Structure 1
Amino acid sequence: MLGAGANLIGYYMYHGGVNPDGQYTTLQESKATGYANDLPVKSYDFQTCLRENGLPSESYYRLRKHHIFIKNTEELLAPAKVYLPDNIPEPMGAEDMETLRAAFRYNKTADCGFLFINNHQRKRKMTEKQITPEKPLQFTVTDVEGTQRQIIFDRIHVRTDAILVLPYNLSVVIRGEQFRLRKTNASYLGCFGGTYYFYTDEEPEDIYFEWSDGKDHAEAVRILTTHDAEHFCYVQEGADEKGKVSLLPDLHFAEVGKVRITDGGQAVKSIWSVYGQTEPNVYELTLEYEYHPADALSGDVWLELDFGGDCARLYQDGKLIDDWFSNGELWRVALKRYDCPTHLTLELDPFKMDVYYDLPPKREMRLAGARLLRLS
């Protein structure tokens, strides 16, 4: 959408949450109203960038690099007009794995732009593509004088699932002198503290930069991997004009207690007998903590549940506090908001043959494991 001209980037949800209790009923009424899509009663997670449990998801990091780019280039990008390739047809649809998805946004006042390439299609595997001098990518743009001119890209390797944002004729200042970065095959992140940051997963010997003066300005450029660009963090404090660049750490968990599990209801059944079952399995969970978060700044403790079945519900003293539809993930429940309870009741609904599952669920209805975790 950004490459196609969208400037107001937004999301239906960016941070998931938990529905509050209604005065007379729950606030989730899809069943009562006959709505086509059912939802959990308490959970409003939607697999968002920041999950309902406060943890970042994979999409948080994937979008982070684009958010950084948008903020850093907003004055160039916002007025930039969209151009589609002259020599590539429009894709035939979602099943078209061969046609390149590309758009060029050109700012005629600044005489620069950004090439957007998306080689990802949900639930599909796009083919790798090579843009070469023999088979270039060509755009016809209108410059500030109203003259049409051609812009050609000819050395780009597009991997499966790659999303590229490549600058064209970008104005840069190096040691007080102004130059133009004509082309590169590395995606642009932004300029921070006088250094220009790019990211790519290409081999170092395959990365190139074409400068307007024909020289090498490697000292002004930092090339990151895509992973590092997704974890990039720039902090500017006080009079420190250059600021500091760091990388957000990957999340690692450590166990901080024990969860004792008691089968409190239906017997755990095998995969061959669970289909006829209509009542949930019930488990009593006793939580023994080795760590209690004292305040808002001291972190959290998560209950991680590995279960099979259709839907799970968690109760504290008979009150539903959270629920979860099986989606192939481990369910992690943030416990600080519930004052780190020592006893919880878990219900697991059986897998239903008449329900469509977007991801293969674990069909054996049982609690396979439970752990207490904190960030290490």
Structure 2
Amino acid sequence: MKPATAITFKAPGKIPAATPHHLGMGGKSPAGMEIDVTSQYITIDGKPVLPVSGEMHFSRYPNQFWEEELLKMKACGITIIASYIFWIHHEEVKDEFDWTGDRDLRKFVQLCAKHGLLVFLRLGPFCHGECRNGGIPDWFWTSSAKRTTDPEFLARTRILYQEIAKQVRGLLFKDGGPVAMIQLENEMCAGEKGIPYMQALKRIAIEAGFDVPIYTATGWGDSSIPPGELIPTFGSYPDTPWDTNYKPYGTEHSKCFFFTPERDDGFIDNKAVVNDAGRSKYKHPYLTCETGPGIQITYSRRPIIQPADVLSLALIKVGNGANMIGYYVFHGGTHPVGKLTTMEENLGRPSMLIYPTFSYDFQAPLGEFGQVRPSYHGYRLLHLFLEAFGSRLAPMVPVLPEAYPMDLDDADTPRAGARVAGNAGFVFYNNHDRFNPRMHDIPGVSFKISLPGGTIAFPAQPVIFKKGTYGILPFNLDVHGVVLRYATAQPITMLGSEKECTLFFFQLDGMDPEFAFVEGTVDSVRLPAGSKAKIQRAGGQVILTGIKPGRDVQITAIAESGSAVHIVLLDAGDAGHFWKGHAWGQERAIIASTNLYFDSGDAVLYGEEACGATVSIFPPGGLALSAGGVGIDPATDGAFARFVLPRKKEAARIAVKAVHGKDDPGSWQLDIPKDALDGSQDLFLSIEYIGNSATLNVDGKDVADDFYSGVPWIVGIKRWAPRVLESGARLSITPLDAGDEIFLEKWPAAGKGAITMQKLVSISAWQESSVRVTNGSS
């Protein structure tokens, strides 16, 4: 039996006060809303916040579907929409700017404003983003003057910035619009030599009219950050699409799965990482703009990113002290086809660094065709936590444990960090490492934290860090006068008022839930009738054990003032289906059997099983719900009210017929029923194949592609309707050679004596429908 492990932290006695108006940044809207940047965090109307930025490239997604995708992002807790503005997408031909259709920046920003989302514009002129020339048009790409203070390049950049400014005129934060942040350039890692160039870009941006609260530049590597002018932002990824190495990685790449004071990440700029926490670029609020929620597939590297790979990475960034989490990209897209060329990356890097012509899926939480991946639901739990507790978390400083892993191979020493302010804080832990096969369960874990007001040790019974898990545990959490000394469950959010509120937690794998209250802060602690939980008092604490997850209120703590704090502990399954948003007149918590977003005070459910879905809603009062004009009767579901949406008819089974080409062994004609979109908003194809790559052709034009990675290729067809329903589509698969220099998580088995593989295994299809749930009493 491995001996028990006490993870020990020593909190700082005093934390330097945050200085307002850091670098002179900040701004106020005409309505009086104020955004400020302090030396440690961002505030809105004087309150610390921990915003969540998600990147979606408007010019890589059909504009007629932007609004729904933005609502999906908002429902996941994204509060800021970031987007590159790829110069080449708008001025492919010199002096001919195009801001129409899918390039309509103004429409995109207006939709963000409509739904209360702030906007973070990444202006370029160089963006990268796996775009052709990094976004610089062909007609300037060959010039040696690019990305310098050369007058010709700055003159063209001035024109670009002026054109962008025209598109967002009246939409800046100071005008009552959503544009609150801009980024200049991208990855200018020239050290001090690049500072005059970055200074020139800021001058040009301001002269063009970009008066915004926050100005940033990417901060990794030997970044060129003009002192006192720009806030550096950081990032981290679970793999490297810019590497041609087709061999499996080892723990030399495990750094991103450790808690550390360093903000640089070797995966982004491994040739210029400067690991010096005393550098000037660290003396700013810690913001990220490229925390990877996925990774792009390339010809050489085709990793399959699992939810734990990216969810643990984001949690670690918060534990490390990040006070804005920015994801690149949160929504996948498709490279557009230009007038002259295609738009995928071709930066002249190694010849094997080849990208798909169309697909920029990125294995993102919301994929290239808007499909929802499992990571989306994990992110929502983290983002709800940041929304509810961000004002407390943002001023907290990161603290590392006294016993730290010895090296990147160490799978035995627990990986943990804490954020602390005064006597309160949160413990973050991670026992997942994509690159370390030696990771294992770590039993007997407890915590000991030295605080200014004394030492806290918990829990009463040690917990297990299960392999592949990660989580957040609160200590000394003050909720309207009731102090939760600790909990071995992860907080999600809270609803209610100071007089009566409900905290939602979920059970973590490997941890028996314990909740302990500071005895002097509670008048009484109550359990529901029939509960088998136990209450004991020891060391000035009221400790509750044996709590079973469910949808009931499992604990009620009454403060001396009479205010009530209820606790609902969900299991992991319910937590994955937990949503929170404004619906039917107030903030609601919903457990739904399908996906949803909030729109105009209603909830819109979508997915394969939207009709007939089940929703359980808290608080349950004031509801007379209907869907499709049909009223729905509620049933009691613990503290929730449960509604089952009417099912109009059995879900149609759509059969897509694949006819193998007689003259081309790698070609199949896909016949899609003409009524495939009847009663639905999209039809998704799941194409399981073995080969090097696959391409879909509609009406004689290639429209989508995929590099084989071992997982089915998911394609949504609505963007090509009605032509795809009339003429079908042609699927082409190129052969995969057993000797190809490609990294795959698992190579398919070639037939006996075969060296090439080219096979369509199966095609399945499902309809995605949606239903709006309204309330007759709202």
* Band the TM-score falls in, shorter-chain normalisation: 0.7 to 0.9
CA offsets 1:179-222 (integer angstroms, 9 cap, x no match): 10001111111212311111114589x32110112753503111
1:122 is matched with 434
- Out of 442, 462, 486, the position equivalent to 1:183 is 486
In 1, distance between residues paired with 2:478 and 2:358? 50
User: What is the TM-score with the length of structure 1 in the denominator?
Assistant: 0.83
Pick aligned residue for 1:372 from 759, 765, 771: 765
Identity, % of aligned positions: 27
Give the superposition deviation at 1:256: 4.1
Cα deviations across residues 79-130 of structure 1 (Å, max 9, x unaligned)?
10111112x223410x32212110010122xx31100001111144521123
Contact 1:83 1:139 in 2 (8 A): no
CA shift for structure 1 position 375: 3.1
Q: Which runs of 4+ in 1 moved over 6 A?
A: none
Could you tell me which amino acid in structure 2 is paired with residue 283 of structure 1?
Answer: W
Q: Distance in 2 between matches of 1:84 and 1:183?
A: 19
Match of 1:273 in 2: none
Is the CA contact (8 Å cut-off) linking 2:677 and 2:767 kept in structure 1? no
User: TM-score normalized by structure 2?
Assistant: 0.42
Which of 238, 241, 249 matches 2:594?
A: 249
2:667 maps to 1:282:
yes
State yes or no: 1:14 paired with 2:350.
Answer: no
- Pairwise CA distance, 1:58: 1.6
The aligned counterpart of 2:721 is 339
Counterpart of 1:53?
369
Asked if structure 1 preserves the Cα contact closer than 8 Å seen for 2:404 and 2:415, the reply is: no
Question: Aligned with 1:2: secondary structure?
Answer: helix
Contiguous gaps of at least 5 residues in structure 1: 269-280
Deviation at 1:259, TM superposition (A): 2.1
Q: Does 1:224 align with 2:540?
A: no
* Structure 2 match to 1:350: 735
| Cα 1:238/1:367, change in 2 over 3 Å | closer
Query: Whole-Å Cα distance in 1 between the matches of residues 472 and 404 of structure 2?
Result: 20
Distance 2:398 2:747 in 1: 42
Deviations 1:213-272 (A, max 9, x none): 2753503111112232232112334654x634333527647664332222225665xxxx
Contact 1:257 1:290 in 2 (8 A): no
The equivalent of 2:681 in structure 1 is 299
Contact 1:104 1:139 in 2 (8 A): no
Within 5 Å, give how 1:1-376 maps onto structure 2: 1-30=317-346, 34=350, 37-86=353-402, 88-93=403-408, 95-108=409-422, 111-125=423-437, 126-132=439-445, 136-141=446-451, 143=452, 149-154=454-459, 155-173=462-480, 178-193=481-496, 194-201=501-508, 206-213=512-519, 215-217=524-526, 218-219=555-556, 220-237=566-583, 240=586, 243-247=588-592, 249=594, 252=608, 256-264=653-661, 281-292=666-677, 298-340=680-722, 341=724, 342-352=727-737, 353-362=739-748, 364-375=757-768
Counterpart secondary structure, 2:709: coil
Letter in 1 for 2:441: E
Unaligned ranges ≥5, structure 2: 1-316, 527-554, 557-565, 596-606, 610-650, 751-756, 770-778
Residues 335-344 or 308-317, more deviating? 335-344
CA drift at 1:36 = 5.3
Give the SS at the match of 1:216. strand
Q: Deviations over 1:313-364 (max 9, x none)?
A: 1111221100001112111211110015132111111113222223224453
* C-alpha contact (below 8 Å) 1:13/1:46 kept by paired residues: yes
In 2, distance between residues paired with 1:255 and 1:358? 35
Do the aligned partners of residues 91 and 293 (structure 1) sit closer, same or farther apart at CA in structure 2, a change above 3 Å counting?
farther
What SS does the aligned partner of 1:368 have?
Answer: strand
Alpha-carbon distance in structure 1 between the residues aligned to 2:456 and 2:663? 68
- Between the aligned partners of 1:27 and 1:203, the Cα distance in structure 2 is 47
Q: Give the direction of change, closer, same or farther, for the CA distance of 1:7–1:320 in structure 2 (3 Å limit).
A: same
2:352, 2:767 → 1: CA distance?
37
Residues 1:161 and 1:52: Cα distance change in structure 2 (over 3 Å): same
Structure 1 residues 153 and 85: alpha-carbon distance in aligned structure 2, compared to 1, 3 A threshold: farther
Higher mean C-alpha deviation, range 318-327 or range 361-370: 361-370
Q: Which has the higher helix share?
A: 2
Q: Is the 8 A contact 1:231 1:247 kept in 2?
A: yes
